[in-house]
Structure 1
Amino acid sequence: MAAARRFAPLILLLVVLAVLTVRAAEPLDNQDTYFHLRFGHELLGAWSLRDPGSVSSFATAEWVPTQWLPQVAMATVEDRWGLPGVAWLSGLAFVALALTLYAVARRWVEPLLAAPLTALALIASSSGLSARPQVLSYLLVAVTAAAWLSAARSGRTPWWLIAVTWLWACCHGMWPIGLAIGGVAVVAAVLAPERSWPRIARAAAVVALSAAATLVTPVGPKLLGAVLAVDERREFFAEWGRPDPTDPRLLALLALAVVAVGALARRGRDGTRHLREARTLTSLGLLVLAVGAAAASGRTAPVAAALLVPVAATALELRLGDRPAWTRPERVVVLGGAALALAVLAAVVPHTADEPPARPAWADPALDALPDGTPVLNDWDLGGWLMWRHPQLDPVMHGYGDTFTIEELRRNTDILAVRRGWRTLVRETGVSYALVLPSSPLGRALLHEDWRVVHRSPDLALLAPPPGWM
């Protein structure tokens, strides 16, 4: 029984690492990966962080990069090792997230609990696990929440979070969540009966200085406006919509929440004093924040999972007592398993992730033959690949919404949905060709309008307008 208790969670963690390795070894099929690569190459070239350009004449918003550091890293890796290198880098982020979640949980509970918490969080986060910078935000959410929960217990001020927030602001636009976590911790400290005003002042200073640090990244103060502008664009992106209640991954998120709530409730049977302690109040505040993230959108569901791991672990520690210390075999298995996963990934990705999503044989030669600057009306989901593989073309739309004005995003969605006035909108673009899915509403509408078929396959068509149509 003791051996099973010792080895079963480590076997589960190794299984988790194996699953992440298999996922990272798959072809890079997330279209957003490709516009991140294109932006990274532009930033390595002539673009300025404070005044970048645009890869499309149809995207004219004033914007600044909010994910520039991982984009530059991705482009640098692609220059040296191609798409297999990008896939390995993505796998590194997956493994780092898994190790971070496990280490955060182990801060308070034994491996028998830490491993299932990690597995549940990764299942709940699986919709967001792709070769995109957002994975770094999930990792930093867990780190920041754990830091404030530890501070609530020890009384030490986590000054180092100021540097973490600065780095986070260079990597991804979710950094305000870190400030929200700190704000929860400060409010909890104020409400706790054993409050210490000097400690509260220091904690508030960490939050304030972290916020100030985001204004002095290489992007400058414009970064704040770029993050605030995301909310007004959310209606145009499905991942920012409400989560699908039938999504089975929400069961893993629910399980994490039930563990946290259950552990706090069981502890409460011994009295209510513990509910007023700063660390318990912080846990309760972060639990509320996690529920809000889970309900807000599909994109923030992984944020909720990253928050719930330290919250559930601290709640279980309150119930079960201090966790056992790390053992040497545990360290060897955890770190060795991670190293093995990355080594296997390095050997496999040159054979499994060396090409972008499959396209018809005619696609690349036909598009390469188009003159530089040719305006192309494209399906939204083709934009990332198109701007990466054929940078000489001028696509009407792609998935990086920050570069478009609200009117331009509305134009794009109206064209794709073939809403009233879509013909006028297409004519106003002045495009020479359309690259569309034949089965999409736009593809069917253009074919109905007698657009000439230049090339066509079941899943892709290159069309040209008939004489006089434009």
Structure 2
Amino acid sequence: MTGTPPSGVGRPTARREWSTPPWTRVAPVALLLVVVTVRTLRPIEDPDTWWHLRAGQELAQRFELVGPDPWSPFTTHAWIRHQWLGELLLAGVHAVGGVGAVAWLVTVFALVTVLACYAVARRQASVLVSTAVALAAFVGASMTVTARPQSLSLSLAVVAAHGWTATARDGRVRWWLVPLTWVWACCHGFWFVSPVLGGVVVVGLLLERAPRTLLARTGAATVACLAVAALTPVGPRLLAAPFEVGRITALIEEWQPPTRDLPAFVVTVGMALLLVALRSRGPLPSWPEIGVLGLASYLVVSHGRTVSLAAVLLVPLLAPALERLVPFARERVARPEVLALAVAAVLAAGASAISVTGAVTRPAGFPTALAAPLTALPRGSVVCNDYDAGGWLWWAHPALVPVVDGRTELYDARDVEDYARFAAGGPGTTALAERRGCAVALVRTASPAEQTLVASGWGASARADGWVLLRRPAASAVP
């Protein structure tokens, strides 16, 4: 198999740039930014946002990144706060604009992701092709664009994918990938994608029989990307963080294989299949390209949480392949295009910020209506809680102790399994309540857990918005 030539090779020489004014060329991507803004303007829905927010607030006061969990008596593993930079960002935005500003961050993350995908695609494709690829990548990444640090990984991942694939294409090592990986490692655990991409490119270049000097430089850049992760404020312990999560990924819903009818999965698989179809008709892909496609294919089918990564990794491969089909050549990137996109992005973000009022400031799907009875509970009361309420309890009611939250890597696998039995109803529900000494239970109305607890004598003290607060029977009250 031979390497693919630069993106301009093999194009029909008769193709010319569009003669339309620059502002009309960017109209499609400007419209895309508007659509992204409208689609992401909503209340906070991610249950993990809340504990990330509290973590950031505490880090702003005391910058302690590795140590025992200071919140819960039920966790058994050290807490490695490897997402500290993203958590400080959440806390800083909240300090300025409250919960509404945190919800607004979702729009900002989405706009940055789309612009990053467009910019990477635009380096090798026309405006319309780049817009189409950016739109597909956004849909594929939509499950990950939430108010939590993982959203920062999307724009960083597409830039890293561009850097590594460009290195394989022209033989120039992008050393800026090293500081990029350092920043990424301070934001979220997906940073390891950068050195993995580097390793894939090194193997691909080896199969291409690339010059030894290029292999050595690319290998050195890959090792450097791995090494700098150990030089963040977390220290070498950061390298072990992925393995901490790996203990219980089989018990976490977002780490299960993706649901096949989800739009994000369907679109990302479509991107991969389209890429295969396009490259099978044109110049044969290089081994590094095949390796990146293989990595993306694995990510899209292995875990629901990694579908988004697969979508953005495909951008620098799909854009030039699709460009070969269109009847017009790639336009030069001119200053009016950059200015128009910058203005469109600022206007979209500004309009979103103005709109963050009313319903958007009230979280969606959380027991905020039960704030008064929860506040009235004695300090240190243990709450047998629905999983989605755990992080919110840590933030909104820090005097209470939920039995589980989104920091599942801190809990023993057997405890997570016990909680799954609690949520499923039956004997496991009351068994967990007894073992943890729960004074109350905060679960969803008509859930299996509520039905079992009520049948066991627990009484409802408050109900609102699909949530119920149950009190333990007096005969078995916690001393």
TM over 0.5: yes
Asked if 1:417 is matched to 2:404, the reply is no
Q: Deviations over 1:320-354 (max 9, x none)?
A: 89733212332232222111111111211134522
Residue in 1 aligned with 2:249?
A: 234
Contact 2:185 2:229 in 1 (8 A): yes
Residue in 1 aligned with 2:266?
A: 251
Contact 2:51 2:392 in 1 (8 A): yes
Contact 1:264 1:316 in 2 (8 A): no
Amino acid at match of 2:364: P
Amino acid at match of 2:160: T
Residue in 2 aligned with 1:271?
A: none
Structure 1 residues 405, 322: closer, same or farther in 2, change over 3 A? farther
* 1:94 Cα deviation after fit: 1.2
Give secondary structure in 2 for the equivalent of 1:175: helix
* 1:108 Cα deviation after fit: 0.6
Matches within 5 A, 1:440-455: 440-455=447-462
Residue in 2 aligned with 1:368?
A: 375
Asked if 1:437 is matched to 2:444, the reply is yes
Q: In structure 1, what is the Cα distance between the partners aligned to 2:87 and 2:287?
A: 38
Deviates more, 1:14-23 or 1:207-216: 14-23
Q: In structure 2, what is the Cα distance between the partners aligned to 1:458 and 1:448?
A: 22
Residue in 1 aligned with 2:139?
A: 123
Structure 1 residues 52, 361: closer, same or farther in 2, change over 3 A? closer
Contact 1:242 1:298 in 2 (8 A): yes
Q: In structure 2, what is the Cα distance between the partners aligned to 1:352 and 1:454?
A: 26
Q: In structure 2, what is the Cα distance between the partners aligned to 1:281 and 1:254?
A: 20
* 1:318 Cα deviation after fit: 6.8
Asked if 1:159 is matched to 2:165, the reply is no
Residue in 1 aligned with 2:45?
A: 29
2:108 to 92, 96, 99: 92
Q: In structure 2, what is the Cα distance between the partners aligned to 1:64 and 1:119?
A: 35
Listed as ranges, the gaps of 5+ residues in structure 2 are: 1-16
Contact 1:267 1:319 in 2 (8 A): no
* 1:45 Cα deviation after fit: 2.9
Structure 1 residues 341, 401: closer, same or farther in 2, change over 3 A? same
Matches within 5 A, 1:450-469: 450-457=457-464, 459-469=466-476
Tell me the TM-score normalized by structure 1.
0.92
Matches within 5 A, 1:142-157: 142-157=158-173
Structure 1 residues 420, 217: closer, same or farther in 2, change over 3 A? same
Contact 1:108 1:322 in 2 (8 A): no
Residue in 2 aligned with 1:72?
A: 88
Q: In structure 2, what is the Cα distance between the partners aligned to 1:73 and 1:248?
A: 29
Q: In structure 2, what is the Cα distance between the partners aligned to 1:286 and 1:362?
A: 47
Q: In structure 2, what is the Cα distance between the partners aligned to 1:312 and 1:421?
A: 49
Contact 1:226 1:402 in 2 (8 A): no
Contact 2:367 2:389 in 1 (8 A): no
Contact 1:266 1:319 in 2 (8 A): no
Give secondary structure in 2 for the equivalent of 1:85: helix
Amino acid at match of 1:214: A
Give secondary structure in 1 for the equivalent of 2:133: helix
Residue in 1 aligned with 2:79?
A: 63
Q: In structure 2, what is the Cα distance between the partners aligned to 1:124 and 1:155?
A: 30
Asked if 1:216 is matched to 2:231, the reply is yes
Q: Deviations over 1:29-52 (max 9, x none)?
A: 221111111111222234611225
Give secondary structure in 2 for the equivalent of 1:376: strand
Amino acid at match of 2:462: H
Q: In structure 1, what is the Cα distance between the partners aligned to 2:207 and 2:374?
A: 63
* 1:315 Cα deviation after fit: 3.1
| Identical counterparts, % of pairs | 34
Contact 1:63 1:226 in 2 (8 A): no
Tell me the TM-score normalized by structure 2.
0.90
Q: In structure 2, what is the Cα distance between the partners aligned to 1:214 and 1:282?
A: 24
Structure 1 residues 14, 262: closer, same or farther in 2, change over 3 A? same
Q: In structure 2, what is the Cα distance between the partners aligned to 1:301 and 1:13?
A: 23
Contact 2:158 2:312 in 1 (8 A): yes
Q: In structure 2, what is the Cα distance between the partners aligned to 1:330 and 1:385?
A: 43
Matches within 5 A, 1:325-344: 325-344=332-351
Structure 1 residues 347, 357: closer, same or farther in 2, change over 3 A? same
Matches within 5 A, 1:222-371: 222-268=237-283, 275=285, 280-316=286-322, 323-357=330-364, 363-371=370-378
1:45 to 39, 61, 69: 61
Q: In structure 2, what is the Cα distance between the partners aligned to 1:360 and 1:396?
A: 16
Structure 1 residues 323, 283: closer, same or farther in 2, change over 3 A? farther
* 1:4 Cα deviation after fit: 7.4
Q: In structure 2, what is the Cα distance between the partners aligned to 1:360 and 1:232?
A: 30
Give secondary structure in 2 for the equivalent of 1:128: coil
Residue in 2 aligned with 1:381?
A: 388
Structure 1 residues 27, 416: closer, same or farther in 2, change over 3 A? same
Q: In structure 2, what is the Cα distance between the partners aligned to 1:267 and 1:200?
A: 27
Structure 1 residues 412, 8: closer, same or farther in 2, change over 3 A? farther
CA RMSD of aligned residues (A): 2.3
Amino acid at match of 1:286: V
Q: In structure 1, what is the Cα distance between the partners aligned to 2:422 and 2:302?
A: 27
Contact 2:68 2:77 in 1 (8 A): no
